[in-house]
Structure formats: structure tokens, C-alpha cells
Chain A
Amino acid sequence: MNTLCAIIVSRGLDEMLRFCLKSFFESADQLYESVEVIIADNASPRPYTESSLSERRIRVLRFDVQTRFAVACNRCVKECETKKLIFLNNDVFLDRSSLNKMLQNSCRAGIGVVGSWLYFPDGRVQHRGVVFGHGDIGPYHLNRGQFLDPRSPFEEYQAVTGACLMVNRSLFNQLGGFNESYQFGLEDIDFCLRVRQHGYRVLCANAGRPMHFESFTPGRVELDGPSRQLFLEHWRGKYTIDG
């Protein structure tokens, strides 16, 4: 049985997805563990086919109607039996060392979720962990857009981005997966907060220099508003302030 399953929700952007998969398998080649990929084809105008992706370790789950990120992810998880899951955005290109470093952290006792430092193509930080500000500020990416290097192998946060998020499948299922009420965005933060409520830790690892273009999918950004509103309705006053 495979150990790690990557779940990638993708819509169009065939070339971006191709590079995402290439970087994933290159990183997976550094592992002893075997891997698989499930792509949730989220109503791409030109459907992906397993043959066009020319990799036997990939399965495609087609959604004919555009589906919420959380719904698509939860559906994909039902299709796999691996011990570990990694959720990846199609515009995340892993470093060769990324999976190894994330898995190492993920296997430690008490660790619920492992994310990774992510960088914009120009080297600025896209993600190093999510912190929470007062009132309407809510959750935000710490040091986003700054030139910065990690000083430790990992740091602990209240949440990490779902653009690159590793979790045990058993824990994911125990918590009921991502909250499907979210349109697109912040279901990952909601999930991490629930993980911590169950006593597990959320880490962001220094896992090489994976790249994240961020919000490339057309129409993606417009869905942030309702998700943010829902998040604050659920969580306002129920998280501590660390940012």
C-alpha cells in the first residue's frame, strides 16, 4: 500500500499542473515510501485524462460542476487509503527535499499538521505560518512578501496554509475533514484550529525552497470574501492573538 497521497484540486492551468506534478514526483523520488496522486479536476474546460498525465501513480476524479475546495478534497480523501495525505495547490512546486522534511516532522508524536515555508518565484516569502490579529484582521500569512530565511527546521503556529499541508488520514477523518461550508479559502485555517483544539500541534517546516505562485486559478480571489465572513462568524473571539 502507498504511504502518501497527494491531493490536488485543479481547474485548467494544464502546464502549471504538469510542473506541480513533476516537482512532486521528483521530491517523492527522495523517499523510501511509495506515493500516489489524486487530482480533483474541478470542472476544467478541457478535462484532464489519466493518459494525458502519463503517470500511472495519478488518478483523476472529475467534477463536471465547479465544486468547493473542501468538498473536492474530502471526496478525494474517501478515494485513498494511504496513511498520510498532502494537500497541494496546482501552483505549488515542491523542492526535492520538501516531502522528506515534511514527513520527518509529520511522523513525530503529537504532530497533527505539517506545512512548509513557501516562496514566491522572486524569492520573497509567500508562507511561513499563519498568525492571528485582533478583530477583523483575523488570520494572515506572517512575513508575506518579505525576503527572509528560516532560522530553525520548523516553527509552531496556530495554522498553516492548505496550499501545502500534510496530515495523517486518520486525523483528517476523525475531524470530519475540511468544513464544506467554506466556498474557497480559510477551510484550511478552520481545519488547523480544530486540529489544535484536539491537542495536536501544527508545524511549518523549513522544507527546502518550494515555490507558490498563489491564487492563479481564475475566479479564485472573488471567493475569499464570503469565506472570510464565514470564518469570522465561526471563530471570532475563539482564537488567541499571536500576530
Chain B
Amino acid sequence: MIYYFVPDITIFGGIKVAYQFVDALNLLGVPAVIASPQGKAATWFLSHAAVVDATAAREMFRTEDIAVFSLPHDYESLRKLPGRVFYHCMGTDPLIDPILKDPSVEVLTCWKQAQEYVLSHGVNRPLNVGISISPSFSYAGEPKYEQAVAYMPRRGRELCESVMNTCSSVRYIKIDGMAENEVARVMKSCSIFLATAENEWYGLPALEAMSAGCVVVSVPVRGGMEYLHDGINCRVAGLLEYAGVVAEILSPESMLLRFRLRQNAIATSKTYACSHMINRISRLLNGPLSSWRLC
């Protein structure tokens, strides 16, 4: 059995990616469950992963079982378990360096920058299992308000406020504490998405916004640069120029640019469809992760 240990059920991208990964494994016939404190399930996005109590999972853990985790804090306790331990790398904070140095911990990554980081830290053969966007974000031509801007104030609030001061005539829709389907509905109805979190590792919301047909204006994001291509499928702007770039994108003269960026954004997001991730994992299960089918 594969136990994917998660710290809680809060609205945090890493939680969703964990469930997404377990869903993909289940779909491919691999027995995997989420191990969560008190067996609580995250319910803010769609999933059909089974959830078990993390404490019970630790107690019944056998040598043939596999533990997967993504939160560095779990490392100390999980490395003592008798089975194999995999670190699912979703960020490249130096906090993870001791994990990467431990040869008994195998490493999975989700994107190119993380892959490069772990390789540069001496990890042997890390496996990129990919990341995907929920189909609920897939834009199917729903009506959009051309002058509506979606934003997530949780990180980068000041930048959002500076945009609001610069472009005061447009409508701003705050995304905060919403379930995934509600986020998708908002994004599909908006023209622009502000990705303002400077310290984001990857920025899954920006990719989801692309899938929902938004023009994304993003600050540079470490891992996210694999899908953010300035002037091609989005605008990438530093803090000082950010509000000006948003104002330019919102201007009537930029209508064609918005159309072009939106089309390219949707095309980019298609390469992160669930089916792609499942194919990628399937290939790994037929190769380096073949033992996972037997656990």
C-alpha cells in the first residue's frame, strides 16, 4: 500500500497535488490512499481518493509499504518507518536539502526547476511525475467580462492593491477560501488573472487561470517559468512595472493581444491535462516505479 502523508486539509496547492497524485495512481490500478490527521479529507476540490488516519497508518506500516510526503516537516518521523520513503518535491526551499542528502529517501518532482534543483543537490535519478490541472478549469467558451480581473489576495496583497489604484475602473473579483469549482467559475468569467505571489514555487493557480481562459499577468515565479512565456501566453512583470502592465493589457487597444495571449494560454494549459500526467506516471510504473504495482 502507498500512503501519501499530508499535514492537513487546508486550501493549499500541495494538498491538492497530493490528492491528484493518489487519484492518478488509483486510476492506474495502484493501491494508494491519503494519510491525514484524524483521517480528515480535504473537500475543497474534486477527488475520489480514500483517506485514512495518519496515526493509524504509521502504526500499521509494513516493510512492503511506501510512504510519500511533500512537507519537509514530516521527514523526521517518516524516515523511521520500515518501508520505502519518497519525497514528492513541490518546492525548492533550502529546508529540503537534508532530505535530498538522505540516500534512503527517493525523490519525485513535479516540474523542471524542481528536477534541476534536486539533481544539482546530488539526488540520483529523481523522477518527474508531473502536475496537472483539474478538468473543472477547462474553458469551453463561457461568457467573459472583458473588464473583470480575478486575484488571490492571500499572497501579494500589496501588489493587488497597487493594481486597483492604477486601474480603478475595472471590476475586481477576490478569490479567497473558495472551493475549486467556485474558483473555476470565477476564473472562467474573468478576463485577467493577477498572479502576485512573489514566493510561489510553481503557481498552480496561474496555470489553472490559463486553462480557464484568463490572460495571466504574473510576477516571475521560480518553477512557473516553465509554462509562463512573457508576451506569448501571458505577461510576466516585476513588482515595479506590474501595475502598468496590467493597465496596458486592460486597455481597449490591447483587445487583440488579449485574444492572442488567451488562446496561447489555453493551448499551454492543455499540455498539463490530467491525461498527460497519467500517461507520464503510467510510463514510470512500467519502468522505475514498477515495484509500486506490487506493494
**Chain A residues in the interface with B (C-beta under 8 A):** 109-110, 134, 156-158, 193, 196-201, 237-242
Contact = CB atoms under 8 A, between A and B. Distances in A.
Per DSSP, are chain B's interface residues mostly helix, strand or loop, or mixed?
loop
B112 interface: no
B50 A197 contact: yes
B47 A240 contact: yes
B46 A196 contact: no
A79 to B, nearest CB: 30
Contacts of B48: 156-158, 240, 242
Given A156-B48, A158-B48, A193-B50, A199 B41 contact: no
Given A156-B26, A158-B50, A197-B52, A238 B39 contact: yes
Nearest to B56: A197
Contacts of A239: 41, 51
B19 A237 contact: no
Given A201-B29, A240-B41, A240-B50, 6 more contacts: A109-B29, A196-B33, A237-B43, A238-B39, A240-B49, A241-B43
Top 3 closest pairs, chain A to chain B, by CB: A199-B31, A196-B50, A240-B47
A242 B50 contact: no
B41 to A, nearest CB: 5
A197 B29 contact: no
A237 B31 contact: no
A157 B49 CA distance: 10
Give the most central of A134, A238, A240: most B CB within 10 Å: A240
Contact of A199 (B1, B45, B47, B51): B1
Contact of B27 (A134, A156, A199, A237): A156
Interface in B25-46: 26-27, 29-33, 39-43, 45-46
Given A157-B48, A242-B46, A242-B48, A237 B29 contact: no
A91 B235 CA distance: 61
Contacts of B51: 197, 238-240
Contacts of B179: 134
Contacts of B1: 198-199
Nearest to B294: A109
B126 to A, nearest CB: 25
A150 B184 CA distance: 28
Chain B: number of interface residues, binned into ranges: 20 to 34
Per DSSP, are chain A's interface residues mostly helix, strand or loop, or mixed?
loop
A240 B43 CA distance: 6
A176 to B, nearest CB: 15
Nearest to B65: A199
Contacts of B40: 237-238
Nearest to B46: A242
A110 B45 CA distance: 26
Given A237-B41, A240-B42, A199 B29 contact: no
Contacts of B47: 240-242
Contacts of A237: 40-41, 43
A179 to B, nearest CB: 16
A200 B31 contact: yes
A168 B69 CA distance: 32
21 contacts: A109-B29, A110-B31, A134-B43, A134-B179, A158-B50, A193-B50, A196-B50, A199-B31, A201-B26, A201-B29, A238-B39, A238-B40, A238-B51, A240-B41, A240-B42, A240-B46, A240-B48, A241-B43, A241-B45, A242-B46, A242-B48
Contacts of A193: 50
Contacts of B26: 156, 201
Interface string B120-134: 000000000000000
B51 to A, nearest CB: 6
A160 B192 CA distance: 42
A109 B46 CA distance: 26
A125 to B, nearest CB: 19
Contacts of B33: 196-197, 199
Contacts of A156: 26-27, 48
Contacts of A241: 41, 43, 45-47
A16 B199 CA distance: 65
A199 B32 contact: yes
Nearest to B180: A241
A151 to B, nearest CB: 16
Nearest to B9: A237
A193 B2 CA distance: 17
A158 B30 CA distance: 15
B63 to A, nearest CB: 16
A110 B29 contact: yes
